[in-house]
A and B are shown apart, each in its own frame.
Chain A
Amino acid sequence: MRVLVIEDSARLRQAISAWLKKNGFAVDNAGDGGEGLFLAQTNNYDVIVLDLMLPGIDGLTILRRLREEKNPASVLILTAKDSVNDRVRGLESGADDYLVKPFALEELLARVRALCRRVYKSKETQIVVGDLVIDTVARKVTRAGKEIILQPREYALLEYLARRKGHIVTRGEIEEHIYNGDVDVMSNTVDSAICALRKKLSEANPEPIIHTHRGMGYELSAK
C-alpha cells in the first residue's frame, strides 16, 4: 500500500514515515501544500495523510482540490484543531478520517490500514483464497491451517495481491504500491519477492496459488 504524508513539521513527518515504512507501507513525503498536491496529482496513492495547517496552500484547500479532481486516494486529516466544527468541516470537505494531534502512532497505523481496506472495497477483515486465510487485523497468514510467518513487505505484497484476488496485478503496480516506485526498471526486485513469497506459501501447501501471466503480471487465485 502506498501512502503520501503531507506534514510541515519535519520531525513528525519523519516519525510517521519511518513508522509506516516499518509496517510495510511505501511512503512518500511532502513538507508543504504545493509539493504535496503535486505528488498527489502525479502518483497513485492509497492513502494520503494530510496536515491541515500547512504553509503555502492550506490543507483544506488541497483536500477540496483532490476531491474536485476525483483523486481516488483516501484522505486522513491530521490537525491540532479538535473542535466539533473543525472536525465536521474537515469531513465535509471530503476527508475520510480525522486524527487529532498529538496521537498514538498505533492509532495512525490502524486508521491508515482501515482506509486501505476501504480502497479495495473490502470491509472484511479476513481474506480467503482457497485454503489461504489472511487475517488483516492480526496480520496473520495461514494456509491449510498452518501459520506462515512473513516479513512486513512480504505480507504487504501478499495482502495487496489477495485484495485484488482474481485480477491480474502488473509488475508496475506492485512496484508502485509496495516499493514506492523505488525500483530500478532493469532489476528483478518484484520477481524475487514473488519467488520468496511462493516459497513460503508452498511450505504449507505445494499447490501454486500465485500465478504468472506472461507479459502481464501476477494473479492470486485458487484455480
Chain B
Amino acid sequence: MITLRKKLTLIILATLGLLIGSSGVAIYYSAYNSLLRQFDNALLAKAEAIMSVTEQSGSRIELEFSDEIMQNYGKDGTDYFELFSSDGRSIERSQSLGKYHFPLRYGTYNKPELWDISLPKGRPGRAIGLMFSPQGNPDKKAKQEKVILIVASDRIALDKTLATLRFLLVGFGSGLLALTAVIVPAILRSGLKPLNKLAEYAANLDAANLSMRFPTEKLPGELAPIVARLNESLARLEESFERERRFSSYVAHELRTPVAELRSLAELAIKAPEECPKDFNNQVLEIALQLESIITQLLMLARIERKDYKPMPEKIELRVMVNDILERFAQKIESKRLVFIQDIKEGTEILTDRTAIKSILTNLIENSIEYAPDGDRIEVRAITSDSGFKIEVINTAPELEKSDIPRLFDLFWRKDKARSASGHIGLGLSLARGFAHSVGCELSATLSDDSRLTIALWKN
C-alpha cells in the first residue's frame, strides 16, 4: 500500500537528490570555467611575453630571448610556442616542441583562438593562437609584417585540479545524499507519528467501546479538526446506540408485560379456575386491545422512520374531528371532571392527511386528559390562514418543568419512567411528531410559568 510516508520520502529524496546533483554540477562547471579562464589568461600572458620580445628588423623577424621568458620552453618544459610568418613558415619554435609542429590556428590579439591540443609525448595541453604585428621596424621602408604566434601549455595540473574537484563534489554529494536518505525518513517517521497514533487509536474502536474519544491534547493543526469531527461522530453514534438500546429495552418491556399478563391469566384459568377473576373475558379482551394498540403504534413509527408513509391530503372539518375524539374519551373526561373549551370557528377546514391529523390530535387530547389534574380546564384552539393552520391543545401540567420540555418528544420518555396503570406507553408524542413531519407539519411544546402546557401542531 502506498503510504504518505513512502511517497513523501521518495519525493523529498528525489528532490534533494536533484538539488544536490544539480548544485554539484553547477559548482563544478562554474569552477571549471573559472579555472579555464585563469589558464587561458595565463596562456595569453605567456603569448604576450613572447610578443613583447618579437621584433621586426627590416624584413626579418627576430626574437630577443631572455632567460626568464624562455624558462619553461626548454627541452623538458611545460610550455611550447611556435612563431609563424604570415604565409605559414615556421620562424621560431621552442625547444620543448621537438619535432612537433603546431597546426595553424589563430585569431586576433583581441580575439585569440584557444583550443585543446595534444602535446608532444601525448600530454594534454591547451593552445592559444593569434596573429599580431611585431614591434620595432625602425626602417619605415619595409612592409609591416604580420606573424602568427601559437603558445601552448601543459594542462595536466589543470586537469588534475578539475579531477580532484569532481571527486570531491561527487564524494560530498553522495555523502550528503546518503545522509539525507537516512535523516529524511527519520524526520518523516517522527513527524508523522501523530498520524500513526491516530490510526492505532482508530483501530481499537469498535461497537463495544463507543464511549472512547480520541485524545485531543498536543494535536497538530492539520489533525485537530479531523479529530474533533471524529469525536463528534462518536458521540452521536454512542447517543444513537444508546437510544436504540433504550428503545429496544422499552419495547421489550411494553410488549412483554401485556403478554405476561395474558399468559398468567390463561394459566390461572387452566390450573386454578376458581382463582380466576370474574371479569376474565373482559380482561383478556382489554389486553388484546392494548397489544394491538402498541403494535400498531410501533409499526406506524417504523413506517414513518423508513419514510414509507404517503400522505393523502383532503379537506377536514376540524370541529367534527375534535368532537369525535372527545366523544371517545367522554367517560374519562367526566370521571376527571375536565372542562374542554373548543376555540375553533364553525366550519373551519384544514387541508391535510386525515389519518395523520386524527392520530396526532387523538394523541394530544388523550395526553391532556391523562395528565391534567382533576377538574382542569383544557383548551383546544385552531387558527387557519391561506397557507396553513395551527392547532393547540393546552392543559395544566403541574409535574412538568421547563427542562422536561425538550425531552417530551423523546422516544419512550415519560416523566415517571415506569408504565402507568392506564397502560400508556411513551410512544405517543414521538410518534405524533414523526407523523407530523411526514405530512409536512411541525409539532412543538411550550410550558408557561403557571404550568400550562401548550402542544402546537402547525403547517405554514
- Chain A positions near chain B (C-beta within 8 angstroms): 8-12, 14-16, 18-19, 21-22, 53-56, 58, 79-83, 86, 100-106
Q: Which residues of B contact A103 (CB under 8 A)?
A: 260, 263-264
Residues of chain B within 8 A of A18, CB atoms compared: 268, 272, 275-276
Decide if B271 touches A19 in the complex (CB within 8 Å): yes
Pairs of residues from A and B, 6 with the lowest C-beta to C-beta distance, nearest first: A80-B256, A18-B275, A101-B260, A102-B260, A15-B264, A80-B253
Q: Which residues of B contact A101 (CB under 8 A)?
A: 256-257, 259-260
Tell me, in angstroms, the Cα distance from A9 to B252 when the chains sit together. 15
Interface stretch of the complex, out of B33-41, B64-72, B158-166, B415-423 = B415-423
| Cβ-defined contact, A21 with B264, below 8 A | no
Asked if B417 and A81 sit within 8 Å, CB to CB, the answer is no
**Closest A-chain residue to B423, C-beta based?**
A9
Interface pair A81/B261, CB less than 8 Å apart? no
| Interchain CB contact (< 8 A) of B272 among A12, A19, A56 | A19
Residue B151 interfacial (CB < 8 Å): no
Cβ of B418 and Cβ of A58 under 8 Å apart?
yes
Bound-state CA distance A79–B418 (Å) is 12
The reply to whether the CB of B74 lies closer than 8 angstroms to some CB of chain A is: no
Question: Is there an interface contact between B249 and A105, defined as CB atoms closer than 8 Å?
Answer: no
Tell me the chain B residues, 356-393 only, with Cβ under 8 Å from chain A.
Answer: none
Docked Cα-Cα span, A56 to B415, in Å, equals 11
A79 to B419, CA, bound (A): 13
Interface of B is mostly: helix
Among B259, B275, B283, max chain A CB count under 10 A is at B275
Bound together, the chains give a CA A9 to CA B290 distance in angstroms of 13
A15, B257: Cβ atoms under 8 Å?
no
Given A22-B275, A80-B260, A103-B263, decide whether A11 and B252 contact each other with a Cβ distance below 8 A: no
A21 pairs with B275, CB closer than 8 A = yes
B191 within 8 A of A: no
CA distance A81 to B262 in the complex (A): 18
Contact A104 B417, CB 8 Å, known A12-B261, A19-B272, A53-B253:
no
CB distance A102 to B252 under 8 Å? no
Identify the closest chain A residue to B261 (Cβ): A11
A-chain residues with CB within 8 Å of residue B20 when the two chains form the complex: none
Q: Closest CB-CB distance, B414 to chain A, in whole Å?
A: 10
CA–CA, A101 and B417, complex, Å:
18
Given contacts A12-B260, A16-B264, A81-B253, 18 further A-B contacts (CB under 8 A): A12-B257, A12-B264, A14-B277, A15-B265, A18-B272, A18-B275, A19-B275, A22-B275, A53-B253, A53-B419, A55-B419, A56-B416, A80-B252, A80-B254, A80-B255, A101-B257, A102-B262, A105-B271
Q: Are A54 and B261 in contact (CB under 8 A)?
A: no
Residues of chain A with a CB closer than 8 A to B254's CB: 80
- B267 an interface residue at 8 Å Cβ cutoff? yes
Q: A22 CA to B268 CA in the complex, in Å?
A: 10
* Residue interface bits B260-295, CB-to-A below 8 A is 1, else 0: 111111011001100111000001000100000000
